[in-house]
Every structure is written in C-alpha cells, then in structure tokens.
Amino acid sequence: MSKPPAANPRDALRSFAPKLIELTDDVLFGDVWERPGLSKRDRSLITCAALVAMNRTEQQTGHFARAINNGVTKDELIELITHLAFYSGWPTAMSAANVARKVLEEGEKK
C-alpha cells in the first residue's frame, strides 16, 4: 500500500500567518528559487549549508529532502555537513547529520 503524499509543512501555518506563507510561496519559491542565475541543485546546496551553519534543524528536514529531489546526492549532503563541522562547529554538524540520516532513511522507505 502506498503512502499518501506528505503534507506541505507550510499548510500548518497558512491560517495562522497567511502573509508569511504567501511571501514564502510567491516570492521565495515562486521567484527567488526560479531565477536562472543558479540551478535548483546549487540553490539547495547553498540553502542546506546555511541551515547547517545556523543550526536550523527544523528547516533542514524539508530542505535536505528538497536537495535530494533537486539532484544533490546522499554523499554530497553528508560531505557538506562534514565540511561545515570545521566552520560552523561540531555540534551543528552532528545535529545536521542526525536530521540528514532521518530524512535519507525516510526517503529510502518510499
């Protein structure tokens, strides 16, 4: 039996902070992510690196999955995290590695 599609995490906030979600959908993902200057793969690498460096584990879950969908490999994601351990700190990398493991394991189950 197949799983139902995962709910968009923004939907949980849509009624609470509608303008924030509107800007996220229309400006961030509708404009910035669609600009031709960088590929979506490159944007994913940059975004994931920023989220690891800032220890934004809640946002890492969705963006790590997005990165994989945008062509970033499992090995590249792990290398990104390992590399950042020396720039953003060991705890941020360890936290990100745990998030990545869960995201990648979940992706393998699908």
**pLDDT tens digit string along 82-102?**
999 999 999 999 999 999 999
Provide the pLDDT for residue 6. Answer: 55
- List, for the chain, all residue ranges whose pLDDT scores fall below the cut of 70: 1-7
CATH superfamily label, 39-109: AhpD-like (1.20.1290.10)
Q: Please check whether residue 68 is in contact with residue 102, taking contact to mean a CB–CB distance below 8 angstroms.
A: no
DSSP result, 25-94: IIIIITTGGG-TTS-HHHHHHHHHHHHHHTT-HHHHHHHHHHHHHTT--HHHHHHHHHHHHHHH-HHHHH
